[in-house]
Amino acid sequence: MTARKKTKAGRKKAPARKKAAPRSPRPRRRRKAPEDGEPDRGGRPAIDWTEETADVVKELAEAGNTVADMAAILGVSKSALEKAIANHEVVAPAYRLGCAERRNQLRTAQYRTAKRGNATMQIWLGKQELGQRDVKAIEVGGPGGEPIPLEGDLGPIVRQKLGEFLRSRGKGEQPVRVPERKISKHKAEGEST
């Protein structure tokens, strides 16, 4: 271990590191010169999206593969496949059709399961397609279902707290009107408000 040197401020300073030897420059890769009669287009060669490729995309989409998985299977980059799915005249409809067929098959299988009497599937489909939902009744009350007893008049306390709030917000002394009634009881279940 090397010793640390003290600086003027009294802190210890790490010893200077040795500089690495300069690397030799990498050899540059040169593109192969085009053959006679071929234009030098540069870059990656264009992908030939055929009907057969579109059929494979449709089958893979129907099976539920992700775009990244489909690109790996087809041997193309993910971005190239995403562009083809968005814009290509043959690949885009094939991908959409594959996804639609998958959703249709799933719905059909769920419906068959529900028809066979699977209560869980029936409830789930009811929530998804019919807008049904679970309703939980929450009642707040005192002992024996009676109203919660409140002692005294709450008006002065509410006026004081509301006045403090308004003063803290810079509203000054504004008259605060609070109804002078007591909370007597909660309404029974089923009564409208």
pLDDT in tens, 123-166: 888 888 888 888 887 776 767 777 766 666 666 777 777 778 87
Closest to 79 (Cα-Cα) out of 101, 47, 56, 53: 47
pLDDT in tens, 50-59: 899 999 999 9
Q: Is pLDDT at 70 greater than 70 in this prediction?
A: yes
Query: Could you give the 3-state DSSP secondary structure of residue 38?
Result: coil
- What tokens appear for 181 in the block? 């009634």
CA dihedral sign, ordered 47, 52, 54, 57: negative
Look up residue 40 and give its amino acid: D
Q: Which residues pair with 5 in a beta bridge?
A: 13
Contact present, 104 and 64 (Cβ < 8 Å): no
H-assigned helices in the chain: 51-62, 67-74, 78-87, 91-115, 119-130, 155-168
Distances (CA, A) of 121 to 64, 81, 103, 113, 129: 21, 36, 16, 7, 12
Domain definitions of the chain by residue range: 51-130
